[in-house]
Amino acid sequence: MSAEHSFYITTPIYYLNGLPHIGHAYTTIAADAIARWRRAKGHSVRFLTGTDEHGQKVMESARARGLEPQAHCDEIVEHWKAAWNKLDIQYDRFIRTTDDDHRAVVQRVLQKLWDADLIYRADYQGWYSVTDETFVTEKDVREGKHPDPDSLQQITETNYFFRMSRYQDALLAHIEANPAFLQPASRRNEVLGFLRQPLEDLCISRPRSRMGWGIALPFDEDFVTYVWFDALLNYLTGTGYHPDAEEPAAWRAWWPADFHLIGKDILTTHAVYWSTMLLAMGLPLPRTLFAHGWWTSVDGEKISKSKGNAIDVMLLVDEFGVDATRYFFLREIAFGADGGFSYEGFFNRYNADLANDFGNLVHRALSMTSKWLGGVVPPMGQIGEAEAALVELAGAAIVGFDEGVEALQFHRALDCLWDLVRAGNKYIDSTEPWRLNREGRTAELGTAMRMTLEICALAGALLPAVMPERSAALLASLGLTPAQGAELVTRLLGGAAPLAALTEGAPVVLGEQLFPRHREMPARIAALFEVTSAAPAAAPKPVKTPKPEKKPMDTPEEKVEDPTKPLITYDDFAKLDLRAGTVRTSEKHPKADRLLVLTVDVGEPEPRTIVAGIANRYAPEELVGRQVVVVCNLKPAKLRGIVSQGMLLAAGGQDVVDLVHVGADPGVIVR
């Protein structure tokens, strides 16, 4: 295996305190998509996923079910494996932190760090968050920065500490020198910000007397390993790593990992804890840590087990199919950004992109070829301007798809391909094969259908990464196997001419519709709204009657709101008094659920009162201390009885996605 063509990708390992939901499925689908793409390109791929089984959360879940933790995990893990199976996840190993080889790796690493005096024993007195299983600084508690203050307990105990602080400078230097290490760039800045504060040592043990479900410290049986220290090492266990392996060791083919995909909430544990652990072990850091955003409910809340607003991914798979589900998650939002999930959004995208654009193109190509051309691939006749334009677009789709997937910008990759799919539909509309057939212009009809079939073949070759099942069906209807599809990818990326994959005279088969149109929301999903409407906190937005159906030949309108406004002059812009501010207090508006009442310091003697429609996105306490941008000369307005003396700049429309942040003192002018 040549080093440049080996590819190692991981997902987080998931806690076994519940069942998979869309957040977990999302990372796993994304990792699977790029792993499949790399395999299609002929690379050696190792894709690792699995479960995080130790620690307090899992122990408490087991207890609540009256089971021993191991028995609980053995049972729940099967649901996770079944879910990944159902989502067509092709992992190379499913690791469990209770696996013997993993325990051995954790203990061996701990022993080595202890022997090297990189772990020491000391007393700790302070705050501990039970839900996060982390120690919390006095300052964070004082400033109310912890999102779940009820979970905080004061504890005093002896523990073991990893000399994390020693690696602060080396880590900073690594981040500065390797822009690709932390992605997207906003996350890199977040970590750099974090590292500007002094880095403390990391407590890596829990006394067995308090929390016994974990891997024993090899040098002190009275303690178990802190769950994160244990969990992060899974990425090495997954390569076959062993610290004492003879060189050249096989695991080195996979390390450093190309990508650790993670959610933004576990950035610090990865970027800081994991990196410093690797530095202490003398191992290279992963090439890229990519932190994606959160799926939120339509009212902007993170979807999670504890919030009870989970969306049933398996229901989507049952009703719309596995490929449509995978497609939606990768297409709907940019990997890295947050996005709101609604069943209605899913339904609309399914019908527009899959049933209308893609399914329709395939159906038209196959049915017209079957009906008028004897069901065989026709010869490519005279190439005109329209055909040349399609070939060019196909070339761009191949490059764009590859670049998009490699950059984990799946939405862009798919969009490039959909440009071609839509152009294929328009091409059919303008060449009017039905007229060519009627008029007996068989050669031109052949060319039109050949072009269209070639576009389908190209889509069938590119798409298995995202839609393995439907792509295989499509390729089969064109007489191609998945292996031939993958060979086509390699040829195309090697510069072969696009839209020249099929063999003249080869039979094509008109099968079932790839993505049958859903005229209404499937009953099992529609029923959810009736059930949950009694519980507004968890209820998804009621389904509006889906938009009037587009005629099959229409090109869909983009669903994006047009953000353009008439041009303004600089003088118009200069009328705005924009200033940096810091939120001092924040509380719910007594009369309106959507509104928060804030006081914001904008560098004046008294903070201003600002009423903001952001309660969909933020809990009041989250905002205290936050640096924002304020429009200070907006005419004061009374909002449900409270006068608002300005406005915060925010991203998003009605549903705020994020507040604009500047790292500047209150009152500093923004322009």
Interatomic CA distance for residues 468 and 470, integer angstroms: 6
Query: Is residue 304 part of the contact set for ligand MSP (CB under 6 A)?
Result: yes
Among the listed ranges 13-21, 36-44, 448-456, 492-500, the one in contact with ligand MSP (CB under 6 A) is 13-21
Looking at the Cβ atoms of 52 and 319, the one nearer to ligand MSP is 52
Say how far apart CA 305 and CA 307 lie, in whole Å.
Answer: 6
How far apart are the C-alpha atoms of 542 and 548, rounded to whole Å?
17
Local structure of 362: helix, strand or coil: helix
Interface with ligand MSP (CB under 6 A), residue from 8, 14, 128, 410: 14
Binding string, residues 44-83; x marks residues near ligand MSP by CB under 6 A = --------x-------------------------------
* Alpha carbon distance 154, 146 (integer Å): 14
Task: Identify which of residues 31 and 405 has a Cβ nearer to ligand MSP in the complex.
Answer: 31
295 strand-pairing partners: 339
Cβ count near 657 (within 10 Å)? 17
Site string for ligand MSP, 339-378 (x = CB under 6 A): ----------------------------------------
Task: Pick between residue 267 and residue 436 the one whose CB is nearest to ligand MSP.
Answer: 267
> Residue 76 and residue 65: Cα distance in Å, rounded?
11
Instruction: Rule CB under 6 A: choose which of 9, 27, 360, 589 binds ligand MSP.
Output: 27
Cα–Cα distance, 2 to 43 (Å, whole number): 9
Three-state DSSP at 148 gives coil
Stretch that binds ligand MSP, among 6-14, 529-537, 545-553, 606-614 (CB under 6 A): 6-14
Closer residue to ligand MSP in complex, CB, 15/160:
15
Q: How far is the CB of 262 from ligand MSP (least distance, A)?
A: 5
Smallest gap, in angstroms, from Cβ of residue 207 to ligand MSP? Answer: 21
Distance CA 383, CA 131 (A): 65
Question: Quick one: angle between helices 360-372 and 468-477, nearest 10?
Answer: 10
Contact mark string toward ligand MSP, 211..250, x via CB under 6 A: --------------------xx-x----------------
Nearest to 276 by CA among 215, 232, 309, 222: 232
DSSP state of 522: -
* β-bridge mates for residue 639, sequence order: 642
Stretch in the footprint of ligand MSP (CB under 6 A) among 257-265, 514-522, 555-563, 590-598? 257-265
Query: Could you tell me if 637 and 643 are in contact, meaning their C-beta atoms sit under 8 angstroms apart?
Result: yes
Size of the site for ligand MSP (CB under 6 A): 21
User: What is the number of residues in the chain?
Assistant: 671
Residue span binding ligand MSP (CB under 6 A) among the ranges 143-151, 159-167, 263-271, 637-645: 263-271
317, 414, 592 from 332: Cα distances, Å: 16, 10, 31
Q: Would you say 42 and 5 are in contact if contact means Cβ atoms under 8 Å apart?
A: yes
The torsion of the CA quartet 20, 25, 31, 34, rounded to 10 degrees, works out to 150
Residue 13 engages ligand MSP in binding (rule: CB under 6 A): yes
- Nearest-approach distance from CB 303 to ligand MSP, in angstroms: 4
Select from 86, 302, 517, 626 the one that contacts ligand MSP (CB under 6 A): 302
Residue 583 as a binder of ligand MSP (CB under 6 A): the answer is no
Displacement of CA 422 from its chain's centroid (Å): 26
Which residue of 7, 8, 9, 12 would you call a contact of ligand MSP, by CB under 6 A? 12
Q: How far is the CB of 290 from ligand MSP (least distance, A)?
A: 11
Tokens of 667: 């009152």
Binding residues vs ligand MSP (CB under 6 A): 12-15, 23-24, 26-27, 52, 231-232, 234, 262-263, 265-266, 294-295, 302-304
